[in-house]
Amino acid sequence: MNQKFQEEKRIDLHVHTTASDGSLAPGELVQEAFELGLAAVGITDHDTVGGIDEALAASENYDIEVVPGVEVSSQTGDLTIHLLGYYINHHDNSLKDMLSWMITARNERNPRLIKKLNDLGIPISLEMVHELAGNTVVGRPHFAKALVSLGATQSQDEAFNKFLGSSGGLAYIPKARMPSEKAINCIRQSGGIPVLAHPMTIEKKNVDIYQTVRSLKEQGLEGIEAYYSQHSSNQTERYLELAKRYNLIVTGGSDFHGSAKPDIKLGSGKGSLDVPHSVLSALKDVQRKLS
C-alpha cells in the first residue's frame, strides 16, 4: 500500500498473544490489528518468541507490518522493570538461553504459588493452570483464570488484588529476575533494541526515574515506552522529555492481552492511546545503527 497512507495509520508495539498470556493466537491478532486499520503491530510476549513465526506468516496475508519482539522482567537495584526487545533475531541462541533461564524461573515459582494457595484452602493444582494456559508460558493471569473458575474470586482483577499481586497479594511469590545489565546485553547481542516498558510502573514505586533511566542507558538501553495505555498525557509528556534528555528513542503500545484484560483495546488502549507512526521509523533507524 501507499507508504504515505500507511504513515497516517496507528501502530501498536506492545501486545501479548496465546504464546504467553494473551487470548488471541498470533495469526488472529495480526488479522484483528489489520481489521482495526493498524499499520504495524509489535508482538511482545512474556519470555517467549514462540508467537513470532505465526505472526510473521499472517502478515503475508494482510497489509500490516509485524515487528518481532519480546518482553522480559528484570531487576535493577531493588526494582523490577520490564524490558521490551524489538527486532530481536528470534532464532538466536543467546536469546534462547536467556528465555529458557526465564522459563526456569517461572517453573520454580509456579509450584510454590500453588502450595501457598493450597495452604490458604484453595484446591488449585498446577495441572489445572497448565491446562488453562495451553502450551504456553504460564503466568499469573492463568492462575487468576483458575481462581475465577474455582469460584475463589469473582474476577481476575480480584484474584490479583487478593492473592497474586505484588502489593499485598496473600499468595504473592516473586520469581527470580535477571539483572537488567545482562538482559539488555542479551537483547542487543541478538540484534534487538532494548526499551524500557511502561515507565509509570517504576514511578509508582517512588524512585527517581531520571536516575534509573540514566543508569539503564549506561547499560545499553535505547528507548522508553512513552506512549502506553495507562499513561496520562502528563506522564507521556514527561517520558518524551526524559527520552530527549538521555538521547533515547520512544516507543508505544497498548499491552493488549485480549479477554485477559478486557479494558485494554488493541491499538487504542483505554481509548485515547494513539502511537504515532514516526516511532516506527525511529526504531528502524536504531536497528540500522546497531546492525
Q: Are 254 and 268 contacting, i.e. CB atoms less than 8 angstroms apart? A: yes
Q: Which of residues 50-89 bind Fe ion (CB under 5 A)?
A: 71, 82
| Residues in 129-158 at the binding interface with ligand AMP, rule: CB under 6 A | 139-141, 157
Residue 47 contacts Fe ion per CB under 5 A: no
Q: Which helix (H) or strand (E) holds 289?
A: helix 278-290
Rank residues 27 and 253 by Cβ distance to Fe ion and give the closer one. Answer: 253
- Would you give the DSSP letter of residue 265? B
CB of 160 to ligand AMP, least distance (A): 3
Q: Which of residues 254-283 bind Fe ion (CB under 5 A)?
A: 255
Choice between 12 and 255, CB closer to Fe ion: 255
Query: What are the respective helix, strand and coil percentages of the chain, to the nearest 5?
Result: 45, 20, 40
Best CA proximity match to 274, nearest among 13, 17, 2: 13
Task: Please state whether 86 falls in left (phi above 0), alpha (psi between -120 and 50) or beta.
Answer: beta
Of Fe ion, ligand AMP, Zn ion, none, which one does residue 165 interact with (CB within 5 to 8 Å by kind)? Answer: ligand AMP
Per partner kind, with CB cut-offs from 5 to 8 A, the member of ligand AMP, Zn ion, Fe ion, none near residue 160 is: ligand AMP
Q: Which of 17, 27, 43, 46 binds ligand AMP (CB under 6 A)?
A: 46
Is residue 271 within 8 Å of residue 7, measured between CB atoms? Answer: no
- Closest to ligand AMP by CB, 79 vs 286, is 79
Element (H, E) at 5: helix 3-7
**Of 86, 87, 160, 163, the one binding ligand AMP by CB under 6 A:** 160
Binding site partner of 82, from Zn ion, ligand AMP, Fe ion, none, Cβ cut-off 5-8 A by kind: Fe ion
Q: Let me know: does 48 contact 136? Beta carbons within 8 Å.
A: yes
- Cβ closest to Zn ion, residue 39 vs residue 113: 113
Comparing CB distances to Zn ion, the nearer of 32 and 47 is 47
**What is the C-alpha to C-alpha distance for residues 210 and 227, in angstroms, rounded to an integer?**
17
Candidates 10, 11, 21, 51; binder of ligand AMP (CB under 6 A) is 21
The two counts, helices (H) then strands (E), for the chain are 12, 8
Parallel, antiparallel or unpaired: strands 65-76 and 79-86: antiparallel
Q: How far apart are CA 140 and CA 46, in angstroms?
A: 11
Contact partner, 192, from Zn ion, Fe ion, ligand AMP, none, Cβ < 5-8 Å per class: none
Question: Least distance from C-beta 107 to ligand AMP, angstroms?
Answer: 11
C-alpha cell recorded at residue 227: 506512549
Q: Which is nearer to ligand AMP, 90 or 140 (CB)?
A: 140
Q: Which of residues 13-72 bind Zn ion (CB under 5 A)?
A: 16, 21
268/254 Cα distance (integer angstroms): 7
3-state SS assignment for residue 85: strand
Name the residues that contact Zn ion, by CB under 5 A.
Answer: 16, 21
Name the residues that contact ligand AMP, by CB under 6 A.
Answer: 21, 46, 139-141, 157, 160, 165
Name the residues that contact Fe ion, by CB under 5 A.
Answer: 71, 82, 197, 255
